[in-house]
Amino acid sequence: MSEIRFDGRVAIVTGAGGGLGRTYALELARRGCAVVVNDPGCARDGSGASAQMADAVVDEIRAAGGRAVASYDGVHTVAGGQAMVDRAVREFGRLDVVIHNAGILRDRSFRKMTEDDWDSVIAVHLKGLFGVCRPAIDEMVKSAYGRIVLTASGAGLFGNFGQTNYAAAKMGQIGAMQVLNLECAKYGIRVNTISPAAATRMTADVQQSSGTPPECVTPAVVYLASEACNESGVIIRAQGGRFSRQAIAFNA
């Protein structure tokens, strides 16, 4: 099988300043993709902001001969998502791939969870899907091609103590994936989901976290983001360097 390439393609990777997003951006760029490296540089709970994280990944890509620009916009508003899409088109002329990887954590048992804990996590993970993918799909329709990779989690699929907000947002992405595929298939746009387990800043003190390096998840995302992937509605569970399709079954 020939190597998967992204020559002439343009991608937005959200949350690309570290962890999984960084590895996705670096690998896409290594394979010829121009990348908008999006990261507002906030702390794990969503507080603060800095250009440093996105800029560092852009510098890595450029030092290796690749093409990249930074975006510091938040995913939680359509204005932020539109700004990312506009930057991609302005700098590189088109948009082919979106990897919605941005995330924050506000872990707390449900009875102790505040409204702000709930709203902040939903805003980034779930409303962020709308904020970025809504303008991105409009752009992809113009070229009748697109690949969108959403991010689920074992916390949603199997549960994890203290992560009701996070789990709800992640399962919401799976529901959105199913509907987007019904609506976007006629435009050549495929929407799939990765459910990763890897050691990152996000999982440093999370129960049931994995010690798997982020680089072990990247091959699955590269495939889902590529022209080689003509499937849609696929959920790939990446854990321990192994990949499996995740089926969701509900027993009556």
Query: Which residues does the annotation mark as catalytic?
Result: 166
Residues 151/100, Cβ–Cβ less than 8 Å: yes
Residues 138/184, Cβ–Cβ less than 8 Å: no
Q: Cβ contacts of residue 65 below 8 Å, gap of 6+? A: none
Distances in Å between the Cα of 33 and the Cα atoms of 30, 39, 54, 71, 231 are 7, 18, 17, 16, 21
Q: For residue 48, give the amino acid letter.
A: G
